[in-house]
A = this chain, B = another copy of it.
Amino acid sequence: MPNSNLNGCLNCRERSEIFSTLHHNELIHVDMCRVRMHYGVGEMIFKQGSPCYDFVCVTSGLVKLYVESGNDRKLIIGFAKPVDYIFVPGAYVDKRHHFSAMACEETTACLVEAEVIQSLVKTNPEFSYQSISKISAQAINLFEQLTNLTHKQMPGRMADMLIYLSHKVYESNPFFTHLTRQDFADLSGMTKESAIRVLKVFKDDGLVKIDGDLIHILDMPRLENISRNG
């Protein structure tokens, strides 16, 4: 049964601001409709272009969100980690996904029918205000990503990415990551080979230390400086 765990959504309410805006009976309703899913590393949660039926909330693991262009290049636009819900803008526009979501680690997520969530927007003003804030914040991040990727050269973009991973995704330094060099490249808009070369320079300059999956930013001020000067 989907809501066999009685503390399901109530538990998440304590950890995610979005659920705190829901009234008790709304939360119960969401909880009833919820399906718990597990995804292995590399498994697709949803794919760009496909119809969007479900609202997805990540409860454990890590999910990368990326856009694909024709020539099978990818650009990672962000991550979802516990307890983030993935705002799907297409749900309010054309009922299609405009980016893909893939598990980068063993991941569990709750799915709720998109209709259920969207009807909350129409009945709960707090919830809709939260939704607007969420998508607004996402748009603001996209502005920054746009200028970073178009106005900076590779070292600046790589520095941005490392700082982003440390501050926003893993929230620690050093941090463990299972991201591949290709992911690094897809995050900073360059080829895998270029990513490797830039990282090598950073290592040689004593900016970072990379030990397998462990990344340690040794000189954050200098890295921030590289980010600033593009």
Instruction: State whether A230 touches B136 (Cβ < 8 A).
Output: no
Instruction: State whether A136 touches B90 (Cβ < 8 A).
Output: yes
Chain B contacts for A68, CB-based, 8 A: 147
What's the nearest-Cβ distance from chain B to residue A161, in Å?
Answer: 13
A50 in the interface (beta carbon within 8 A): no
Interface residues on A, range: 35 or more
A92-B129, A92-B133 given; A71·B230 CB < 8 A: yes
Question: Interface with B: A24-32, A137-145, A197-205, A207-215, which one?
Answer: A137-145
Instruction: State whether A123 touches B122 (Cβ < 8 A).
Output: no
Instruction: State whether B133 touches A132 (Cβ < 8 A).
Output: no
Instruction: State whether A137 touches B77 (Cβ < 8 A).
Output: no
A228 in the interface (beta carbon within 8 A): yes
Instruction: State whether A128 touches B121 (Cβ < 8 A).
Output: yes
Instruction: State whether A75 touches B128 (Cβ < 8 A).
Output: no
Q: In the complex the two chains form, what is the Cα distance from A98 to B145 in whole Å?
A: 12
Instruction: State whether A146 touches B147 (Cβ < 8 A).
Output: no
A131 in the interface (beta carbon within 8 A): yes
A150 in the interface (beta carbon within 8 A): yes
Chain B contacts for A132, CB-based, 8 A: 92, 121, 128, 131-132, 135
Tell me the A109-164 residues at the B interface (CB within 8 Å): 121-123, 125-126, 128-129, 131-133, 135-140, 142-152
Given contacts A75-B151, A139-B139, A145-B146, 8 further A-B contacts (CB under 8 A): A69-B148, A71-B151, A73-B147, A89-B136, A92-B132, A132-B132, A142-B143, A149-B149
Give 24 pairs: A residue, B residue, CB < 8 Å, sorted on A. Answer: A67-B147, A68-B147, A69-B152, A73-B147, A73-B151, A75-B147, A93-B136, A98-B143, A99-B143, A121-B125, A121-B128, A121-B129, A122-B126, A122-B129, A125-B128, A131-B132, A132-B135, A135-B139, A139-B142, A142-B142, A142-B143, A145-B146, A146-B146, A150-B150
Interface, chain A (partner B; CB < 8 A): 67-71, 73, 75, 77, 89-93, 98-99, 121-123, 125-126, 128-129, 131-133, 135-140, 142-152, 189, 228-230
